[in-house]
Each structure stands twice: as structure tokens, then as C-alpha cells.
Chain A
């Protein structure tokens, strides 16, 4: 079943076509990686899917709703209810503790629930550091808090723009494990990355070049990988 459909999307900045007639289709529960050289329009596309920007031309159907035509207030609601965002920079509210940063997301969504927020931090292995301020956490730990914050409201779709770009090997693996788990739970994942290893973890990779879809690569090993991941996680 289709969750997201980009139909003839273009994003034009003056002379520059950051996105040029892009067509993409993502099914519910799919794990898609997006690759491409710098400036190829990956972030531009993620902003459009994430309801933070609108295309110049084309339709964006999210759950059958054309978000290209919604008001910015409605877009905020859609973002809040359906989407979890993870960025390359670990954006946190620097005067709030880790658990409070997670709770902020709950607060704007529905009701802050400290216990649930602590559980989410437990999932990313940071239960012990819940009451630390961002300045007291390492980069990898901050990014894990951001992952916890993105998944706290059980979004249908998680959008991650280079989530592992600033992480070391160990933290990258922790994040990938989490993605595997989320995928197993049925969450749809779209992950922008430069890192072939991260792309290889996904079911399908879409490659952008000059604002166009250059090619798509299906990961034939995905089923096997996923089993291995989950077995390792349980073990």
C-alpha cells in the first residue's frame, strides 16, 4: 500500500532546478535510502516530504492527501502527527535535559509522559543519561536522543537526513540497529546518506543526480540481512 507518492515534483530556485520532475513512490513499511552527490537535491526533497517546504510544481501525496496544497498550519499538524525527523546536526533544546527534549515532542503532539520518554531513551541505550543536558552528552549520544525524540510519538514515517553523517562506527551501528527494529515494527523509513554501508542496510536505494532520479537499486539481500540483524539484537 502506498504511503508516499511524489508526482512530477520540481523545486526551482530562480535559474536552479534543485529538483527536476521527480517521481518517487514509497510503500507503507518500506525502508528507502536516498543517495546522490552533494547538491543533488536530497535535502530539498526531504524538506518537501517532511512538510517543511513546498514544491514549485507537482503533487506530494502522503496518505492520499496532497500536502503541496495544504496551509502551513495544517502542514505543522501533519508533521506532528505522522512524521519523525532526524537531522545530521543533533538539534536539541540546549537548556533541557535529554528526557525533557523527548518530552517536548510529546508535549506538542499530545501529553508529556515522563515514563514513556524514559523508555524511549532506554531503547536508544541512554536510560542512564536521561537527566543530562545536551552539553553533557557526546555527539553520538545526542543523536540517539534525537532518534528517541523522533520515534516517541510512533510516527508512520521517519525521515532521516544523514543521521549518521557525524557519528563514529559504534554509534552508527546503534542507530542502524534502531532503524532495523523500527522497520520490523512497520515504520516507514526514508534515510538520506552518503555512506554506502547505511544505504546497503535499506531495502531500496534511490540515487539522485542534478535534481533527477538517476537510478534505483533494490537490495536483494535485505530479507537475510534483516533476519541477521534481529537475531543479533535478540542475542
Chain B
């Protein structure tokens, strides 16, 4: 009978129940998407920040001094000492905070003359360079990971593992348009110490200066300039902890710290600590933070998560209020029916039980629908904000279920109080004809 009664409500009053289910679905969908995004966002944000490029730049000490003091660019080898050895680049992966080093790539640039007579800057770098570390591990490092926001409009990224890669280049979209180049074309580059016939592997749109440049394998530029085994700078992308007072003091001079402070600092992933450790492993180098990104990384993460928790809590409060309105209205509408059931001999517990059963079934329907809606929202957020799918963690299902149950029960409380207080004599004689 209980079943028939609940069925009667659900089938014959479906439009009201649908409204309640919809309110619950909205809350559930926001909670689902926010919790999923929240659980996924740590990775996503650091990936996102990584796509904004390096947060540490390593330069030779001399070059850095010259550039900082005289504000001159390192042009055409006038400062012949200002290079780092390519073979030492991999040592970045041997520092204490090795697992915080997400990616890195060495750079060596030069200016070449194209067949049309125009000149262009060529950046020699690693794309997906395979490294075997002294620790026995191996990594792939290079710009393929650090320039992930690039849009390759024609052709593909250079894959250093395929034969012929050493004579391939990637051309910026502006330059490609100007020189009428497309993927697969042959191109002659004339450098200071020689020429090279190369294949255009891909055209990229970076949305900046790089669009009028050429990206080439490091070895190619080294050959064009006669600087075998040398690199001019290294870009490093590292996960860092936001700076605090200690980090700022240390950044000025680590030697000024007490031993205990020094240990704390060294063993925390402050950007200054990581820079310091890089300088330790690459002699003659200066590693410095590209401030803005490094500082904000951790803070952005915390703030994003706080925001999402806030949205989740507010949306749940919102649906609790919505449910409470709808359910209370429904109780008022059904007060005669409830009074009647009491008069017939139904105890308060039986009535509230049936009532809660109706609402919880509605909540279940709304919750399941909301979960899938939330799945969609999460993917929209993932695609819109992070350009990648949000991983749906199974853990979220019980969390959302419990939240929705709590919200539904909390939202139904005022209505239940009304049910309990309802006096059958009053409602049954109340509306006198």
C-alpha cells in the first residue's frame, strides 16, 4: 500500500515532483562538477601554468652579468664565453627537488638568411629530447611539453626519435605566410658558418614573437653557428611553493641564513631553493625565477580550490532552500490529505516516513540526473578552461550522494515540522463550505 501511495504521488503528481527533482539535480550537478574539477584541478592548474612557459631561466653567469649591467643582447658570439655546455643540461634532473621539475629545454639562437633574402631568428632547442640520467632514470624533455599552447596548424611537432628529425624545423605562422611555406617544403638556411637544407615539419601559431621565428633542433643551430655542444640558456618549468619571508631572505643570500633556516629553506620547493640547487649542479650558471608565474602558482591553486568549495557550498545551500520552499508548498497544498491520514489513524511516524520516502526517491532521480549533468559541466569546464577532459573520480559519487541526502533532509525539515504540527480537526473542518 505504501508503495501504491508513493507511486500515486510520483505518477499523478509528477510535475510537482519533477520540479523538486530538478532543483536537486541542479545542486547535484554543481556539486558533482565542482568536486570533480576540484580534485582534478591541482594537476590541471600546474599543467596550465606550465603551458604559460618556464618559471625559471638558467643563463651563463657572464652573459647574465653583461646583459644585466649593460643591457646588451648576446649577438653573434661577441661574448664567446657566455655559453653553457649542453651535456650539463640534464643535471637539472639530479637536484633535490627533481620531481618538481616538470620540464626543461636548452636554447641557442642565431639569425639566418632565407632563400628570399629575408632574415629570421632560429631558436635551436630540444623538442622531446631523450635523456638517460646518471641516476639510472630517463626522461623526455623539451619544448613540446613547454609550449603546449602552440597550435600546430599544419604538419606536426618534430619528434626527435624519428630519423631525419635533425634536419627538420618548425616555422612560425607569420613567417610561413610571408615566405609562403607549408609543411613538407624544403628550405635552405644560411648561417654564419654554413648552410643547411631542411624540411618544414610543421607550422605553429604561438600568438607572439615566436610566430616570426623558426624552431630547430639544437644540433642544427649549433652546426649553423659553429657552437657545437653549447647552449645559451635553459628554460625550466618547476612546481613551486609560494614564497614567504624565509624564501625572500634566502633569495638575497642563502649564506646569511642560520643552519636550521637554511635546511628548512633548502628542503622546501621555493623557487629560490630550486634556482639555488640548479646553480649548484651547473657550474658557471645563474638560475633566476621568472617572478610572476612562480609566485602565483601555489596561490592560484589555493584560491581556485577555495572558490570551488564556495560555489559548491552555495549551490547546495541554494538547493536546500529551493527544496524547502517546494516541499513546504507541497505540504501546505496537501494539508487536507495529511490531516485525513492522521484522522484515519496514521501515526506521525508513518506519515513522515511516507513523505520522506517520496522525497528521497525524487532526490535519487534528481541526484542521478544531476550527476550526469555535472559530468557534462565538468567536461565543459575542463575543455573551456583547461582544454582537457576532467577525470571523473568514483569517490565523488558517494560524496555527492551524502551531500544530496543531507541537503534534501535539511530542506525537508521545515515541511516535516509542519506535518507533525498539523491538527487534523482543524484542516478537516477548516474549510467550511
Binding site for B on A (CB under 8 A): 43, 47, 50, 52-53, 73, 76-77, 79-81, 85, 87-89, 91-96, 100, 103-109, 112, 133, 149, 161, 165-166
Contacts and interface: CB of A to CB of B under 8 A. Distances in A.
Interface string B420-431: 000111001101
Contacts of A53: 425
B343 interface: yes
Nearest to B4: A100
B53 to A, nearest CB: 63
B429 A104 contact: no
A88 B433 contact: yes
Interface in B341-371: 341-348, 350
A108 B344 contact: yes
Interface of B: 1-2, 4-5, 8-9, 11-13, 336-337, 339-348, 350, 423-425, 428-429, 431-433
Given A89-B433, A95-B9, A107 B425 contact: no
Query: Which of B337, B345, B431 has the most chain A CB within a 10 Å cutoff?
Result: B345
A222 B152 CA distance: 103
B343 A96 contact: no
Given A96-B8, A104-B1, A52 B341 contact: no
Contacts of B347: 73, 76, 108
A81 B345 contact: yes
Contact of B1 (A76, A91, A107): A107
Given A89-B433, A93-B340, A105-B344, 8 more contacts: A52-B425, A73-B348, A76-B342, A79-B343, A79-B344, A80-B344, A107-B2, A165-B433
Contact of A108 (B4, B346, B424): B346
Contacts of B433: 88-89, 165-166
Contacts of B4: 96, 100, 103
A76 B345 contact: yes
Nearest to B338: A93
Contacts of A43: 429
A47 B336 CA distance: 16
Question: 6 tightest A-B contacts by CB?
Answer: A80-B345, A107-B1, A95-B12, A52-B425, A47-B425, A95-B8
Given A93-B337, A96-B4, A149 B344 contact: yes
Contact of A104 (B336, B341, B432): B341
Contacts of B337: 91, 93-94
Contacts of A109: 345
Contacts of A73: 347-348
Contacts of B346: 76, 80, 108
Nearest to A38: B432
Nearest to B333: A94
A89 B344 contact: no
A166 B424 CA distance: 20
A76 B423 CA distance: 12
B12 A52 contact: no
A100 B342 contact: no
A170 B5 CA distance: 32
Contacts of B2: 107
B6 to A, nearest CB: 10
A133 B12 contact: yes
Contacts of B423: 52
A93 B8 contact: yes
A132 to B, nearest CB: 13
A89 B428 contact: yes
Contacts of A161: 429
29 contacts: A47-B425, A52-B423, A52-B424, A53-B425, A76-B345, A76-B346, A76-B347, A77-B345, A80-B344, A80-B345, A85-B343, A85-B428, A87-B428, A87-B429, A89-B428, A89-B431, A89-B433, A91-B336, A91-B337, A91-B428, A93-B337, A93-B341, A94-B12, A96-B4, A100-B5, A100-B8, A104-B5, A107-B2, A166-B433
A104 B424 contact: no
A91 B345 contact: no
Contacts of A103: 1, 4
A108 B8 contact: no
Contacts of B429: 43, 47, 87-88, 161
A142 to B, nearest CB: 12
A202 B24 CA distance: 55
B233 to A, nearest CB: 76
Contacts of A96: 4-5, 8
Contacts of A89: 336, 428, 431, 433
Contacts of B12: 94-95, 133
Query: Which of B8, B343, B347, B350 has the most chain A CB within a 10 Å cutoff?
Result: B343
Contacts of A80: 344-346
A171 to B, nearest CB: 15
A168 to B, nearest CB: 14
Contacts of B13: 95
Nearest to B351: A108
A12 B269 CA distance: 79
Given A52-B425, A166-B433, A85 B344 contact: yes
Contacts of B340: 91-93
Query: Which of A81, A108, A133 has the most chain B CB within a 10 Å cutoff?
Result: A108
Contacts of A100: 1, 4-5, 8
Nearest to A152: B344
Nearest to B336: A91
